[in-house]
Amino acid sequence: AKLNEALAGPVEALLDGANNETWPSIKKLLQRETVSAVSGLSSALSGFEMDAKDKEKMLTSLQDYARGVVEAKAREEAGRVLIRMKDRFSTLFSHDSDSMPRVWTGKEDIRAITKTARSASLKLLSVMAAIRLDDDVDNIENTLTSALVDAKSNAAVADKSITTFDPLASSSWEQVPPAKTLITPVQCKSLWRQFRAETEYSEASRRNNNWMPPPWAIVALVVLGFNEFMTLLRNPLYLGVLFVGYLTVKALWVQLNISGEFQHGVLPGLLSISTKFLPTVMNLLTKLAEQGQSPATNNPQTNSGATAFKSFQNGSSSSNTSSSASSGVTASGNDIDYSSPPKED
């Protein structure tokens, strides 16, 4: 257990920062921890009377166990190589050489930054492709670079020749035994294709955000659009129409999520927007109609309240009139009683 803890964590950290010194560092770590573990086991076994062959067998088994821990950890990390490639690309693309967040001013060379980030991700893939605990030499990195990074030049050469050879169309690497292979050439090609597809959006969005017309184009727009600008000033109605049009386009942009639809390509985005355009427009018109009818629905309530108040007033006045009339009748009745002739004796 102690040997496993001493090897697993450092090996994972070294593979995370994959570079030219990764496997030499892992090899030194393995040798140091193995020597320490073998020395401790030898000291523990020295107090027992054991056959030399049995003792040597136990020490050899401990060495094989240590090597197996390193290889198992390497295979585990190779299964997460795509995640690590994307993390490295994102880190190098969004941070400068001083590991500070990059401030995009529009003057950066997006192509050079992208190439550097992809080269570092390809380096990680080449390091994770095979186990290199021995002194064997391979050309995995050169093969991946020529087949994936220099694909355009290879395609140009392929157009001139009838038959072409794909170095990644294989299930094994040259000079690398299958037992030491972590990622086959075919798997590397598939992983790189997926990596390119998932990182191209970052590059494209950054290019769109950094796009600015040249200064001469801005000056030309100001000069050529002077008459149109004066026309807008003389006719404020045009400004109102443009403002309403802007609000409509902005609402459609938000409702259709245009920027999100084009993440997966132009054609899928156009197809998705074409299917959602008409329902979205109808939904906006329905909402506008409902908002336009809401004041009209509030007016009947006000009118009904006024009618009720008037009816209350009319009822009160009629009751007052009836009460006054009844009092008049009573008063007249009393007068009649008082004016009745006296009885005869």
Note whether 235 and 131 are same-domain residues.
no
Residue 322 falls within a domain, yes or no? no
Note whether 120 and 204 are same-domain residues.
yes
Percentage of the residues of the chain whose pLDDT score is greater than 90 = 24
- If one counts the domains in the chain, the total is 2
Residue 117: is it exposed, middle or buried by C-beta count within 10 angstroms (0-12/13-18/19+)? buried
Note whether 74 and 223 are same-domain residues.
no
Note whether 157 and 201 are same-domain residues.
yes
In a 3-state reduction of DSSP, which class is residue 46?
A: coil
Note whether 232 and 134 are same-domain residues.
no
| Measured distance CA(184)–CA(196) in Å, rounded | 18
Q: How close are the terminal C-alpha atoms of the chain, in Å?
A: 142
Residue 190 falls within a domain, yes or no? yes
Note whether 55 and 186 are same-domain residues.
yes
Note whether 181 and 48 are same-domain residues.
yes
In this predicted model, what pLDDT tens digit does every residue of 114-173 receive, in sequence order?
Answer: 889 999 999 999 999 999 998 878 889 999 998 888 765 555 454 544 446 788 888 889
Residue 317: is it exposed, middle or buried by C-beta count within 10 angstroms (0-12/13-18/19+)? exposed
Considering the chain, what is the average pLDDT of its residues? Answer: 77
Note whether 228 and 84 are same-domain residues.
no
In this predicted model, what pLDDT tens digit does every residue of 91-116 receive, in sequence order?
Answer: 998 888 888 888 777 777 888 888 89
Its domain, for residue 37, covers: 2-210
In this predicted model, what pLDDT tens digit does every residue of 9-66 receive, in sequence order?
Answer: 999 999 998 899 999 999 999 999 999 988 888 888 777 777 778 888 888 898 999 9
Note whether 156 and 220 are same-domain residues.
no
Residue 233 falls within a domain, yes or no? yes
Note whether 173 and 245 are same-domain residues.
no
Residue 173 falls within a domain, yes or no? yes
pLDDT above 80 for 189: yes
Structure-token match 């050469």, residue found: 157
Note whether 252 and 125 are same-domain residues.
no
Cβ 90 vs Cβ 124: under 8 Å:
no
Structure-token match 């995640």, residue found: 83
Percentage of the residues of the chain whose pLDDT score is greater than 70 = 75
Pick the more confident residue, 68 or 331. 68
pLDDT above 70 for 247: yes
Cβ 255 vs Cβ 283: under 8 Å:
yes
Note whether 50 and 103 are same-domain residues.
yes
Residue 88 falls within a domain, yes or no? yes
DSSP state of 48: S
pTM over 0.75: no
